[in-house]
Structure formats: C-alpha cells, structure tokens
C-alpha cells in the first residue's frame, strides 16, 4: 500500500465495498477480504478485477492486493493472489491475467514474479487514473497466460 494512492474515508468505508459487491455480481470477480489464520484479524484485500481504464493491454483482468503494513512480508499477498489466479483460470476460464505496479514498487514486483508472472518489457505505461507528476503514474506491467499457469501448475514444486 506504500505505492498506492490513498483511499479517502468515504471510499474506504462505502464506495470501495459497494464496487466489490457490484463487480462480484456483474463479473463474478472482486477483491476478497483476507484474514489472518491465527486470529481472524483483517489483513487486507486481494482478488481479480476488470481493468476499468484504457491502456495498450486492455481489455484485461488484473490481480491485485492491498495488505495492511503490519502484515507485509508474511506471505499473505502471494498466497491469496495465487488463489485468485487459480479461480480466474479454472472457474472464469480467463486466457490471461495482468498486474501492474509503480516502477519503484519492488515488493509488488517480487510478488508478481513469485506468482509466475512475467514482466512485459515493452508494457510500461503511464496510468491514466494517476495524476501527471505523481511518482506512481509510471507503471510496470506483468502478465500471466493461462497456458503458462497450467504449465507451472503441472510442474513439481521444489
């Protein structure tokens, strides 16, 4: 979340949740609440969403995450994102899932790599919903095709 634009109080409590409900009803996908296994504490949200802006790679479905700072580095983002990707390829039969992050967001890029996503070296773009001059505007693009995911899923894990 260090590399995301903050949600205002109204979005955080109402609009954002309403959008997740609407996306689930309309597209059969949304961000899911993530809870700590040991005590049920709210960790953040992870899931799939249709990309709502125009870019060279749209239309597309993205996997994303917002994890609260106390839970960074504990494996919640990759574990939950892996489940979201599995759902996208197995249940929704998606052909590709993308993810993007600000160019300085090395933590999210590590998660994307752990998920088997590949950086599209020609895919960097200026995010149209981030104001010009904001350091988060320039984004890197990662992709994962269904065929690559199937091959990775079939390979024995080390």
Q: Which tens digits make up the pLDDT trace of 118-137?
A: 999 999 999 999 999 999 99
The CATH number of the domain covering residues in 9-154: 3.40.630.30
pLDDT in tens, 83-106: 999 999 999 999 999 999 999 999
d(CA 155, CA 147): 13
Every domain of the chain and the residues it spans = 9-154
The pTM assigned to this predicted structure is 0.87
Whether 97 contacts 63, CB under 8 Å: yes
E-only strand ranges, 5-155: 31-35, 42-50, 61-67, 96-102, 118-119, 125-126, 138-145
């Amino acid at each position: 979340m260090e590399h995301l634009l903050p949600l205002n109080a109204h979005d955080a409590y109402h609009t954002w949740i309403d959008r997740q409900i609407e996306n689930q009803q309309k597209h059969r996908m949304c961000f899911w609440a993530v809870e700590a296994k040991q005590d049920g504490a709210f960790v953040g949200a992870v899931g799939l969403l249709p990309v709502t802006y125009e870019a060279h790679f749209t239309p597309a479905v993205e996997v994303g995450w917002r994890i609260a700072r106390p839970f960074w580095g504990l494996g919640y983002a990759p574990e939950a994102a892996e489940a979201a990707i599995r759902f996208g390829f197995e249940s929704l039969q998606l052909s590709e899932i993308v993810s993007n992050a600000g160019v300085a967001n090395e933590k999210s890029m590590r998660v994307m790599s752990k998920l088997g996503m590949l950086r599209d070296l020609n895919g960097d773009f200026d995010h149209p919903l981030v104001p010009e001059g904001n350091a988060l505007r320039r984004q890197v693009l990662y992709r994962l095709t269904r065929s690559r995911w199937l091959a990775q899923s079939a390979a024995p894990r080390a």
